């Protein structure tokens, strides 16, 4: 990681986005297709369960936690 650059080339939801919301907290869960550029020539493509947690703070929604788990084919 120290010597390479990590860049998202593709981030596409592939499933319906499940939403749970209560008060000032909203959680999104979905499957995404992700393509990353690692360094100058390497690309990594995978599918992952993705979960994002949003919190309403100071008049706007902010991502406070995000997590992805690779789906093994």
Domain limits, the chain: 6-70
**Dist. CA 17–CA 22, nearest whole Å:** 16
**Dist. CA 35–CA 57, nearest whole Å:** 31
Closest residue by Cα to residue 55 from 40, 42, 65, 43: 65
In the prediction, which pLDDT does 1 show?
54
In the prediction, which pLDDT does 3 show?
57
Task: Determine the CATH number of domain 6-70.
Answer: 3.10.450.50
For the whole model, what pTM was predicted?
Answer: 0.78
68 and 47 in contact (C-beta within 8 Å)? no
pLDDT per position as a tens digit, 31-69: 999 998 877 667 889 999 999 999 999 999 999 999 999
pLDDT per position as a tens digit, 1-32: 565 678 889 999 999 999 999 999 999 999 99
Task: Give, rounded to a whole angstrom, the gap between the first and last alpha carbons of the chain.
Answer: 25
């Amino acid at each position: 990681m120290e010597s390479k650059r990590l860049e998202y080339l593709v981030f596409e939801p592939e499933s319906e986005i499940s939403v749970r919301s209560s008060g000032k907290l909203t959680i999104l869960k979905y499957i995404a297709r992700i393509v990353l550029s690692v360094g100058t020539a390497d690309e990594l493509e995978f599918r992952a369960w993705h979960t994002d947690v949003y919190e309403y703070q100071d008049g706007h929604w902010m991502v406070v936690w995000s997590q992805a788990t690779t789906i093994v084919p």
